[in-house]
Structure formats: structure tokens, C-alpha cells
Amino acid sequence: MTRPVIVEGVGLHTGAWARVELLASKGPVRLRANGVEAGLEKLVVASTARATTVQGRGGLLRVRTVEHMLAALAGLGVHEGVTIAIAGSEMPLLDGGAAAWCDAVKRLGLIGGKSKLRVARKATTQVGLSRYEWSPAKAIEVEVRLELDDARIAPHARWSGDPEDFHVRIAPARTFAFAHEVDELFRRGLARHVNPESVVLIAPEAIYHAGRPFSPDEPARHKLLDLLGDIYLCGGPPLGRLRVIRPGHAANARAFAQARSEAVLVTVQ
């Protein structure tokens, strides 16, 4: 039997220490917290306030900031065979992206598979200022476009479904924030215990970062990463083309729910 892979660290928003065990298991991906366990398909999005929070079993199971961990599973094509058990209320931030999660998942030796989610027809889903363009295709194609009035930031990022490309190029993209947001975050008690190497701060006078070099397309790559983590809750990424303008957690959740209700996104056996 494969030994559990242990991941530990501090949450982005709560600042609380969390210990996560990734365990090889039979069947669908499952999440366990507070002694309660549920399959991924039984979880619902409970909050999208600067992160994606999921809950299940009538709220007995509730975990915050799951998108980076789920993005690793999505990018590596892991759709079964793992249970994620967390002691804590928020997934640890780790490197600020999904690369550390990819490393952990790979240590389980799981074999990736194909998503059962498909884009069934061409459609556009509009959620406020966010736009989701869907079309059928024979491969996974995901693209995001940011609308930032900042010449220092490259607005596009794209991924074509290759697991290794996700791990090497997309997963290292760090969480980012704008300087004008920081005071409000602190007033709300958020982001007080962040490792400077795990985040990028975009200010008018400079782009602040530590550790790894900053690339102009890193914010767009991180938004793509978040998008993959959010759509993994629906069983994605889907086979097909998805182009998103101005993605965000709240818009993602609403757009994916609408696309499923309108049979734009379908699950095949």
C-alpha cells in the first residue's frame, strides 16, 4: 500500500496551520475534514470570497481555499484514486500556486485519466463582466484573458491539456494581489501570515515579489490555474475549448453551474 503523502503549511487567509494527508484510495476523489468525508461530486461551493470554499454533509465538512490543490489534480488529470484528508479549516498556501501540490500528488504514483466532462455545444455564458466562451473540440483547450490597464502585465494565458506543461509552466504561478486591496484584506483579518515568496504584489510604483523571478504573464497563468481548480469541482477540465475573459471565483462558480444546467457542459460515461 502506498504511504500517505503529508503536506503542511499556513492558510492564506486564516493564517492557521493545516496538515493535509493525500491517501491513495479506490473510487472517486474524496475530501475529509473534521472526521467527515464526502466525494467531490457531493461538495458544493459555499463561498467565493477571495477563494473557493466547499462544503458537504450539511455543512459538517467545510474547507477553505481548495482551488490550488484541485488545480493540481485537474492539471495532472487525476480524477479518481485519492482521498484528501485535512486537519484544519483552510488548505495551506504552500508556494502560492499548485506546483507543490503537483509534487505531492505525483508522489502517490497515481495514473492520470481522461475527464468525463465534455463541452457539448457552442455557447457563451455571461456573468456580469465575465464572459465564458464554449465550443466542442477533440482536446482540452483553456484560455484566459485579463482586462487590466497595466502595460507590465501580459493579459493572456493558455493551456492545451498536457500534464507536464501544467506542472512546469502553469502550476508555479503565484497568488497575486493589488496594493489597493491590501488594507481592506488586513481589515478583514485576511492574508496576514503570507510568505512573501508565495505571493506577488502589484503596486503602481513596482511589482513586488521574492524568491522566483516574476514573469509578465504570471497573473494570467494564476487565473488559469484558479479556473482549472474551480471547474474540477464539476469534473473538469472538459474536453473542448473554453475561453474566459475576466475569470474570478464567484463568476466561475455561477458560469459552470449555468453551463451544466443548460447542457453546455455534460458528463459522459
The reply to whether omega before 219 is within 30° of 0 (cis) is no
In angstroms, the CA 166 to CA 168 distance is 6
Active site residues: 249
How far from 125 is each of 145, 262, 266, CA to CA, in Å? 15, 10, 15
The answer to whether the beta carbons of residues 229 and 71 sit under 8 Å apart is yes
The one-letter amino acid at 217 = D
| Mode of pairing for the β-strands spanning 240-245 and 140-145 | parallel
End-to-end CA distance of the chain: 28
* Cell numbers given for 78: 487525476
Q: How many residues does the chain have?
A: 269
| Mode of pairing for the β-strands spanning 140-145 and 175-178 | unpaired
Q: Could you tell me the strand order of the sheet in which 199-202 lies?
A: 175-178, 199-202, 207-208
The answer to whether the beta carbons of residues 63 and 120 sit under 8 Å apart is no
The answer to whether the beta carbons of residues 142 and 188 sit under 8 Å apart is no
